[in-house]
Structure 1
Amino acid sequence: MSAASSLLSEDQFLCSICLDVFTDPVTTPCGHNFCKNCITQHWSNRAHRECPNCKKRFKRRPVLQVNTFISEMVSRFKELAQQRASSSSEQQAAKPGEVPCDVCTGTKLKALKSCLVCLVSYCETHLEPHLTVSGLKRHQLIDPVENLEGRMCMKHDKLLELFCKDDQTCVCMLCTISDHKQHEVVPLKVECEGRKAELEEAEAELQQMIQKRQLKIEVFKHSVKVSRENADREIAEGVQVLTSLRDDIKRMQSEAIKVIQSKHTLIEKQAEGFIKELEQEITELKKKSAELEQLSLSEDHLHLLQNLPSLKAAPPTKDWSEVRVRAPSYEGIFRAASAPLVEMLIIDLKKLLPKTELRTAQQFAVDVTLDPDTAHPELILSGDGKQVHHADVRKNIPDNPERFSIILCVVGKQVISTGRFYFEVQVKGKTQWVIGVTNESINRKGRLSIDAQNGYWTLGLRNENEYWAATRRLYSKSQPEKVGVFVDYEEGLVLFYDVDAANLIHSFTDCCFTERLLPFFCPSSNQHGKNSTPLIICPVNRTT
């Protein structure tokens, strides 16, 4: 009964007049069911008594009695509906992207299975018959999927359960005797097993791609960490320099102010002395003036004549016409005080800036190795591809297109086509050498014209202390033992550093790179042993 009752649907118990579940269901003589009140009112408003469904007329109004069987079924259905509503409240409604139950009439619950025979998806409640009814238990259930109709052959309306290898498409049984009669056809399961192997290979490849990207993430994180460390160190050094500079400025400011104040104090004291003398003279002169005024008012003629000569004479005073208080010049005191500081600052900046630039360049260090297929036959390369020197013996090796045939040169394996690139070469003990970068397409079979216009950006030593940047002679006091080569492809820069001194030796700017670049090395002739020391590509130890 439970299995049968679960097949009941709401449509079976709806009155066709009120379109709601039956209330006091009655049956007409023609066999149709209605709510008792609905059919009674329907006939009360009409002259003829006829069935609303089949339009059959009745001569007399039928006597209607409640159909107890239908009434019980309706009651049972309402109980089941309440149970389903209670169960549905516990079950999960289908969310966007999930497969909904095809049977649910209200809220569409999430489907648990799809039937390949019924082509219907069922929630937990509506799946029950497929789990209990013997005939339905034989149906093939799968995890819920949408568009079950797509699993049917559009031509034969049969289940797609085979795979045609010739046309690489899914087919039904009838297709194998029509359109795909001569084709190789296998069950879907067999084809899936083979495809799963391909999926495993694809999955393995994806995992490798994931690992590579995870490693790249670690590289980026390491770059950020290195950048943070460099930034912190640079900030600390800069703060230390500027703090010291600030203290020196305050000290020199104080000294300059003290010099100015002492000069002013001296003038102030001198002026105060002069003013005091003048005030004393003014007092004496005022006193003499008062006495003369008093004498001029006297009526005693004898007294006036006797005292006039002594009072008439002016008191002794100083001749102030040439006396000056000359204000000293204060100009240049601050300039003179700050001159040593400016000179010291310039020296510190000259030391600090190249070191900072070199440290930045070293962050783009690349592990460069020599390419033996390009080396001149008289050049000897070390097994690790890090050293090269000239020998007098010419090796019997293939003269491939990449090999230098006349000039004693070799290029690196690493290609520069974008971004920044840095490597270091030890030149200690050599009397001649050339290093730098060059265009990949240079002529390797003839004489070389080493110039930027011909695709060479190089630094070299000729005749011991004579340094050249390509074809331009340099007047440099630097005698590097280790040279750093830095390339910024996008900015068009090639810079050469004295690594130990952290000085910039030479820079090629505004270069227009139009093709790939390669590291370039020329150890030059060994000069009968005088220049036998090899050029050595060194690991980069960042400047501190």
Structure 2
Amino acid sequence: MATSLQEKAMCPVCLDFFSNPISLSCAHVFCFDCMQTWVSKREDSKLTCPLCRESSEKPPLEEWQIRTLTLLIKQHGPLLELSLHVRSELQRFREDMTLDAATANSLLVVSDDGRSVRCAKTHYDTMEDPRRFTHLAGVLGTPCFSSGRHYWEVEVGEVKEWSLGVCKESVDRNRKSDLSSKDGFWTISMKAGAIHANSIPESRIPASPGLQRVGIFLDVEMEEIKFFDVGNDALIYAYCPLSSLERFCPFFLLVLPGERDSGAALRIYP
């Protein structure tokens, strides 16, 4: 019952309670601000639904029924407290993900179960493979995605410096640096105790001292990826739009062995 009410009162774009909800002619409902942002990022002037891509033939109408339902749920929130977290809503999109060892830099050690990766002190005798990252201490996750909504969580634990997110399937595996969106990487990075969004220009975001697990939500149709601080149930950063004719691959990166390396591992949760 709580889940059903929650879904009826939440915008499919921002995954939060409706704010000034509007209905398109296709009957899909969104927050007014979410639709305004969506329209402003489109190259054409048509009012197109973010979900089904149907063009609306009439102006959106305010959904007073949804507004009323949203208000009631907010008023009785304590009764549904366990069901009203954004992260709980994202669980239905959770992926059973593993690391693709064939793409891992030769200084990375992927666990036998394919769920964790750490840096080694010496190079492993690995076979040459064009899929492998040769300079960056990176590895891809599997599966990769060309449509739909997908969610996964990564335990960063004691790893001092890392990058997480997605990249185009065709990114240059021989590159040495520049994990920017123009090069096909949409990631956040932990550097010197602060989080950096590898956007253009780069953004610096204060990191919670207790950050232990990062939630990553990819919505291919909405052309966005969001990063969450799972422990604090808080949004860290969002990229929108991200667009590619290729598949998006989960991306994991550690710092190569050195003074800053603790031997700690990144782990896909659970």
TM-score normalized by the length of structure 2: 0.69
Matched letter for residue 138 of structure 2: C
From 239, 242, 245, the equivalent of 2:75 is 242
Equivalence for 1:96: none
Q: Contact (CA 8 Å) 2:194, 2:207: kept in 1 or not?
A: no
Report how far residue 382 of structure 1 moved. 0.5
Q: Deviations over 1:430-459 (max 9, x none)?
A: 210101000000010232321111110101
Residue matched to 2:217: 486
Which residue of 409, 413, 423 corresponds with 2:138? 409
Q: Which residue of 2 aligns with 1:341?
A: none
Matched with 2:268 is 537
Matched-pair contact (CA < 8 Å) for 1:451–1:457: yes
2:238 to 507, 525, 536: 507
Q: How does 1:92-491 map to 2 (within 5 A)?
A: 229-232=2-5, 239=72, 241-243=74-76, 356-463=85-192, 465-471=193-199, 472-479=202-209, 480-491=211-222
CA distance in 2, matches of 1:418, 1:526: 36
CA gap of 1:430–1:460, structure 2 versus 1, over 3 A, is same
Asked if the contact 2:104–2:132 (Cα under 8 Å) also holds between the matched residues in 1, the reply is yes
Q: Quick one: distance in 2 between partners of 1:229 and 1:365?
A: 20
1:229 and 1:416 mapped to 2: Cα distance?
30
Q: Does the C-alpha gap of structure 1 residues 443 and 231 become closer, same or farther in structure 2, counting only changes over 3 Å?
A: same
- 1:408–1:477 distance in 2 versus 1, CA, 3 Å: closer
How far apart in 2 are the matches of 1:384 and 1:412?
A: 13
Instruction: Provide the rounded CA distance (Å) in 1 between the counterparts of 2:251 and 2:99.
Output: 9
CA contact (8 A) 1:437 1:518 kept: yes
Secondary structure at the aligned position of 1:363 is classed as helix
Q: Say if 1:430 and 1:237 are closer, same or farther in 2 by CA, change over 3 A.
A: farther
Q: Distance in 2 between matches of 1:505 and 1:244?
A: 24
Q: Cα distance 1:534–1:477, how it changes in 2: closer, same or farther (>3 A)?
A: closer
Cα offset, 1:378, TM superposition: 0.7
Task: Give the letter aligned to residue 205 of structure 2.
Answer: Y
C-alpha separation in 1, matches of 2:73 and 2:242: 37
Structure 1 residue 361 displacement after superposition: 2.2
Residue deviations 1:96-147 (CA, integer Å, cap 9, x gap) = xxxxxxxxxxxxxxxxxxxxxxxxxxxxxxxxxxxxxxxxxxxxxxxxxxxx
CA contact (8 A) 1:389 1:526 kept: no
Q: Is the 8 A contact 1:466 1:473 kept in 2?
A: no
What is the identity percentage for the equivalent residue pairs of Structure 1 and Structure 2? 28
CA apart distance, 1:239: 4.1
Q: Is it true that 1:519 corresponds to 2:247 in the alignment?
A: no
Which letter maps to 1:505? I
Q: Distance in 2 between matches of 1:481 and 1:526?
A: 21
3-state DSSP of counterpart to 1:424: strand
The secondary structure found in structure 1 opposite 2:142 is coil
Q: Distance in 2 between matches of 1:537 and 1:513?
A: 25
Work out the CA distance in 2 between the residues paired with 1:381 and 1:388. 4
Cα offset for 1:527? 3.1
- 2:255, 2:261 within 8 Å by CA — same for their partners in 1? no
Distance change in 2, residues 1:403/1:477 (3 Å): closer
State how 1:31-70 maps to structure 2 within 5 Å. none
Q: Is the 8 A contact 1:489 1:513 kept in 2?
A: no
Largest Rg, 1 or 2 = 1
Aligned partner letter, 1:511: L
User: How many angstroms does 1:396 deviate by?
Assistant: 1.0
Deviation (angstroms), 1:391: 0.9
Contact kept? 2:108, 2:117, Cα under 8 Å: yes
Name the structure, 1 or 2, with higher relative contact order (CA <8 Å, separation 6+). Answer: 2
Q: Which runs of 5+ in 1 are unaligned?
A: 1-227, 246-351, 540-544
Query: How many residues matched?
Result: 203
- Provide the aligned C-alpha RMSD in A: 2.5
Deviation at 1:411, TM superposition (A): 0.2
Q: Partners in 1 of 2:242 and 2:218 — Cα distance?
A: 10
2-side partners of 1:233 and 1:380: how far apart? 42
Counterparts in 2 of 1:517 and 1:477: CA distance versus 1, 3 Å:
closer
- 1 CA distance for matches of 2:188 and 2:133? 19
Cα displacement (A) at 1:477: 4.6
Say if 1:525 and 1:531, in contact at 8 Å, map to a contact too.
Answer: no
Q: Residues 148-168 of structure 1: CA distance to partner in whole angstroms, max 9, x if unpaired? A: xxxxxxxxxxxxxxxxxxxxx
For residues 368 and 244 of structure 1, the distance between their equivalents in structure 2, rounded to whole angstroms, comes to 33
Structure with higher strand content: 2
CA distance in 2, matches of 1:238, 1:424: 31
Q: TM-score, normalised by structure 1?
A: 0.35
